[in-house]
């Protein structure tokens, strides 16, 4: 059995912590990573030279020109107008992402219903109508049928409103569900036909859903504009609370842990009590017995707080969480003492290596740089296609959907065979090698994003592990702790172990990319009826999720061994795995108990800040009721503060978590290497020695 778990560490009298005399590891992976980064820069430069982000910002007319772009003739025409919005309901729109109708850049959307014939006969309306026609149209030289035949003007105008810089019908619903546009239900389409307002619903139904979302988004934006400074104050409070909590952990770790456990139980208990009171107070209120299912999706989320079922659901969820927390504490009570000792030791380590608390700022800055480069490159890649024009017509024609060129279209025989055909901008694409392999560039961008992000995370883990290992293996603390342990550890990681970090992050990135592809396939198969394919896909997603978690756990411990011994990634991963397997009970209990206690710390900080923000923004505190901003949704700043508080607390506690994991592995190594004799003394603290009922001979003689 011992052979399957590797050999225990043997005593080495020269070992005094992280080895300084080390060499470069995983050189091939280091070279591969450098080449990949250079290729990433090349892809970025190529994308930046070919891409045009204006295609995302500005809508384009039928000739591919940008509406509202500064420095162009269309600078004062920021809105896109469709000649016949009904054609946007065609399936072609979904296939080619372009309505098969003439599109024009205009200064403003039409505000009234009018036909071309009516404008043609009324000279007072001609100038208004001409702003929605192509340039060069002359009502005095052409008849209305000729204008329609040449596609110079739309057959009719209707009341429209700008949405995402596009003129869409101003649809609204009157009592009884009657759909109207500008208080009218029936329209003359300018071609002798009567059109019902409901016919425009298919062309705009998708925009109607988006309009509802837009209304919610606008209300949320308004809430942010009036509460942003209070949100910042809440986040600053969360940072201060986190710092105070960490400082107190150093001196009062045992008391703080027990206080934290009790406080978490009390906070969750208060949540249950509050939900129960709201549930009781709503009894007998009109409409409070409506179920969430019957209520459906509402844009005003405060409506859900007026029904009893919502508070009942909250109360049940919080009760389950409370029971789980209490049961875990009861069954793991004997291991909590050792976990507290590890956290105390971690507090001392962080106290002696205070610069470790600020290292997450470097990790955050590097991750922000990686995310920004990926996002900018993705935008330029997605907008680096050329303008593709196709033949659009309303009748049967052999040239339909063929590519064409606007500048030479009128000289071809297409117009002779298909009189109603037009050469319109269809979509962005291309036939060059660059455009053919554009999807590969996008995939490379995503893959390198994962690889670089994981590398930055790994660099932070190795740096912190090396610093905290220097603390643990210093026999006389703090005298034997080297100067600037964070800088020394960071230098060793970059100089010797870039290849090992790249290797570990590459393995994790491959699994993450596969998970992304599985999510993409899942989205594609949502409309499919093949249950076996869906079941197989769900199983694969679950398996790769578990695999990712396992790889993250193994990588984390492998990086600790890399930081201490300076060996290659595979060797370090094997040593860490066997070390953990030889101490599987301690790993399963102690390590996870400390993780759980640190999670409770984050939960307590988030709970304190969240409850305070709830009472403030909801106006429950009478003393500051007039100070609190007036909001559409008071949960918007509350949720922002809660999420921000968790991220802040997570940033501080991630240092603690890495410290605990490093000290835990060093603790296991210490037990295997040493036996407490004068020749092989333990390096662990006296507190841990007492809990484990062990001692060093020198200390025992001193006591005697």
Q: Confidence class of residue 186 from pLDDT cuts 50, 70 and 90?
A: low
Mean pLDDT of 279-307: 73
Mean pLDDT of 636-655: 83
- Say yes or no to pLDDT of 185 above 60: no
Q: Confidence class of residue 206 from pLDDT cuts 50, 70 and 90?
A: very low
- Say yes or no to pLDDT of 241 above 70: yes
3-state secondary structure of 483: coil
What percent of the chain has a predicted confidence (pLDDT) above 70? 75
- Say yes or no to pLDDT of 202 above 60: no
The whole-angstrom separation of Cα 523 and Cα 55 is: 26
Highest mean pLDDT among 272-281, 422-431, 458-467 belongs to 458-467
What percent of the chain has a predicted confidence (pLDDT) above 90? 14
- The region of weakest confidence among 110-124, 132-146, 401-415, 478-492 is 401-415
Q: Is the pLDDT higher at 112 or at 252?
A: 112
3-state secondary structure of 593: helix
- The region of weakest confidence among 94-103, 442-451, 610-619, 652-661 is 94-103
Sheet containing 79-82: which strands, arranged edge to edge? 103-106, 79-82, 166-169, 160-163
Mean pLDDT of 116-129: 83
Q: Is the pLDDT higher at 191 or at 96?
A: 191
The whole-angstrom separation of Cα 269 and Cα 521 is: 42
Write the DSSP symbol of residue 8.
Answer: P
**DSSP for 289-351?**
T--HHHH---S-GGGGGGSHHHHHHHHHHHHHHHHHHHHHHHHTHHHHHHHHHHHHHHHHHHH
- The region of weakest confidence among 322-331, 391-400, 521-530 is 391-400
- pLDDT per position as a tens digit, 340-372: 777 778 888 888 888 888 888 888 889 889 988
- The region of weakest confidence among 86-100, 251-265, 266-280 is 86-100
Mean pLDDT score of the chain: 77
For position 1, what pLDDT does the model report? 41
Write 80-83 long-range contacts (CB < 8 A, 24+): 80/104, 80/105, 80/106, 80/165, 80/166, 80/167, 81/105, 81/106, 81/109, 81/110, 81/132, 81/160, 81/167, 82/166, 82/167, 83/151, 83/153, 83/154, 83/155
For position 191, what pLDDT does the model report? 52
Highest mean pLDDT among 320-329, 425-434, 566-575, 651-660 belongs to 566-575
- pLDDT per position as a tens digit, 497-512: 999 999 999 999 999 9
For position 472, what pLDDT does the model report? 86
Q: Confidence class of residue 396 from pLDDT cuts 50, 70 and 90?
A: low
Q: Confidence class of residue 513 from pLDDT cuts 50, 70 and 90?
A: very high
**208 cis-preceded (ω within 30 degrees of 0):** no
Residue 176 gets the label, from left (phi > 0), alpha (psi -120 to 50) or beta, of left
Structure tokens at 572: 């370090």
Cβ-Cβ contacts under 8 Å for 85 (sequence gap 6 or more): 99, 101, 158, 168, 169, 200, 203, 204
For position 95, what pLDDT does the model report? 35
448 Cα distance to chain centroid:
17
For position 172, what pLDDT does the model report? 56
For position 448, what pLDDT does the model report? 94
- pLDDT per position as a tens digit, 608-625: 888 888 888 777 776 666
Tell me if 132 sits within 8 A of 112, measured CB to CB. Answer: no
The whole-angstrom separation of Cα 211 and Cα 226 is: 23
Tell me if 85 sits within 8 A of 169, measured CB to CB. Answer: yes
For position 534, what pLDDT does the model report? 79
Phi, psi angle pair for 143, to nearest 5°: -85, 165
For position 87, what pLDDT does the model report? 67
The whole-angstrom separation of Cα 305 and Cα 287 is: 11
Q: Which residue has the tokens 């290596």?
A: 353
For position 148, what pLDDT does the model report? 80
Highest mean pLDDT among 70-84, 193-207, 220-234, 331-345 belongs to 70-84
Q: Is the dihedral of CA 174, 175, 179, 184 positive or negative?
A: negative
Mean pLDDT of 555-581: 90
Write the DSSP symbol of residue 183.
Answer: T
Strand partners, 60: 66
- Say yes or no to pLDDT of 404 above 90: no
Strand partners, 156: 115
- The region of weakest confidence among 150-154, 180-184, 286-290, 391-395 is 180-184
Q: Is the pLDDT higher at 200 or at 146?
A: 146
For position 209, what pLDDT does the model report? 46
Q: Confidence class of residue 309 from pLDDT cuts 50, 70 and 90?
A: confident
Structure tokens at 595: 């993780």
Highest mean pLDDT among 33-47, 265-279, 482-496, 662-676 belongs to 33-47
Q: Is the pLDDT higher at 425 or at 405?
A: 405
3-state secondary structure of 407: coil
- Domain extent listing, the chain: 217-379+461-495+521-673
The whole-angstrom separation of Cα 48 and Cα 290 is: 55
For position 213, what pLDDT does the model report? 54
Q: Confidence class of residue 562 from pLDDT cuts 50, 70 and 90?
A: very high
The whole-angstrom separation of Cα 667 and Cα 343 is: 13
Q: In sequence order, what E strands does 132-203 have? A: 156-157, 160-163, 166-169, 171-173, 179-181, 186-188, 194-196
Q: Confidence class of residue 176 from pLDDT cuts 50, 70 and 90?
A: very low
Structure tokens at 123: 């000279």
pTM of the model: 0.69
For position 4, what pLDDT does the model report? 55
- pLDDT per position as a tens digit, 66-113: 888 787 888 888 888 888 777 665 443 433 345 667 788 898 888 888
């Amino acid at each position: 059995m011992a052979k399957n778990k590797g050999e225990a560490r043997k005593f080495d009298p020269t070992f005094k912590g992280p080895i300084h005399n080390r060499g470069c590891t995983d050189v091939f992976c280091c070279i591969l990573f450098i080449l990949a980064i250079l290729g990433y820069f090349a892809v970025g430069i190529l994308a930046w030279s070919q891409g045009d982000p204006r295609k995302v910002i500005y809508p384009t007319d039928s000739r591919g020109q940008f509406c509202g772009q500064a420095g162009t003739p269309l600078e004062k025409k920021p809105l896109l107008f469709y000649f016949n919005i009904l054609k946007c309901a065609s399936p072609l729109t979904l296939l080619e992402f372009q309505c098969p109708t003439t599109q024009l850049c205009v200064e403003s959307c039409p505000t009234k219903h009018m036909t071309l014939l009516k404008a043609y006969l009324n000279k007072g309306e001609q100038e208004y109508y001409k702003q929605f026609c192509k340039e060069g149209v002359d009502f005095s030289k052409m008849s209305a049928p000729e204008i329609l035949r040449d596609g110079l003007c739309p057959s009719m105008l209707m009341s429209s409103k700008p949405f995402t810089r596009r003129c869409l019908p101003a649809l609204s619903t009157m009592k009884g569900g009657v759909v109207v546009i500008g208080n009218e239900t029936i329209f003359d389409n300018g071609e002798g036909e009567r059109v019902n307002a409901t016919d425009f619903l298919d062309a705009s139904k998708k925009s109607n859903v988006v309009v509802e979302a837009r209304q919610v988004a606008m209300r949320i934006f308004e809430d942010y504009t009036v509460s942003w400074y209070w949100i910042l104050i809440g986040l600053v409070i969360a940072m201060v609370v986190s710092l105070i909590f960490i400082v107190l952990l150093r001196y009062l770790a045992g008391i703080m842990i027990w206080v934290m456990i009790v406080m978490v139980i009390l906070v969750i208990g208060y949540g249950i009590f509050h939900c129960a009171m709201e549930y009781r107070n709503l009894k007998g209120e009109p409409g409070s017995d409506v179920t969430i299912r019957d209520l459906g999706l509402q844009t005003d989320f405060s409506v859900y707080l007026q029904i009893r079922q919502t508070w009942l659901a909250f109360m049940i969820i919080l009760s389950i969480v409370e029971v789980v927390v209490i049961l875990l504490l009861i069954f793991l009570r004997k291991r909590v003492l050792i976990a507290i000792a590890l956290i105390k030791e971690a507090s001392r380590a962080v106290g002696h290596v205070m610069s470790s608390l600020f290292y997450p700022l470097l990790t955050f800055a590097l991750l922000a740089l990686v995310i920004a480069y990926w996002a900018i490159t993705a935008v330029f890649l997605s907008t680096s296609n050329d303008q593709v024009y196709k033949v659009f017509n309303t009748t049967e024609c052999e040239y339909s959907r063929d590519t064409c060129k606007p500048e030479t279209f009128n000289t071809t025989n297409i117009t002779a065979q298909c009189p109603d055909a037009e050469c319109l901008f269809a979509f962005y694409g291309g036939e060059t090698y660059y455009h053919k392999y554009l999807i590969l560039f996008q995939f490379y961008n995503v893959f390198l994003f994962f690889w670089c992000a994981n590398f930055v995370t790994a660099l932070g883990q190795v740096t912190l592990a090396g610093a905290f290992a220097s603390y643990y293996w210093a026999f006389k603390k703090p005298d034997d702790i080297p100067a600037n342990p964070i800088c020394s550890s960071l230098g060793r990681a970059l100089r010797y172990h870039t290849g090992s970090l790249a290797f570990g992050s590459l393995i994790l990135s491959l699994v993450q990319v596969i998970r992304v592809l599985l999510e993409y396939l899942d989205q594609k198969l949502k409309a499919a009826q093949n249950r076996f394919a869906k079941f197989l896909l769900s199983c694969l997603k679950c398996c790769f999720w578990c695999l990712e978690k396992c790889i993250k756990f193994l990588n984390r411990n492998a990086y600790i061994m890399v930081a201490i011994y300076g060996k290659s990634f595979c060797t370090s991963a094997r040593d860490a795995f066997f070390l953990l397997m030889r101490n599987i009970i301690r790993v399963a209990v102690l390590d996870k108990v400390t993780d759980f206690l640190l999670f409770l710390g984050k939960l307590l900080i988030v709970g304190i800040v969240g409850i305070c923000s709830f009472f403030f923004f909801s106006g429950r505190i009478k003393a500051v009721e007039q100070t609190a901003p007036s909001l559409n949704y008071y949960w918007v700043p509350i949720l922002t503060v809660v999420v921000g508080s968790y991220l802040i607390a997570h940033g501080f506690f991630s240092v603690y978590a890495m410290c605990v994991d490093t000290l835990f592995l060093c603790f296991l190594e210490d037990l295997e290497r040493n036996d407490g004799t004068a020749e092989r003394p333990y390096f662990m603290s006296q507190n841990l020695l007492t809990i484990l009922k062990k001692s060093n001979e020198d200390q025992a003689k001193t006591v005697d």
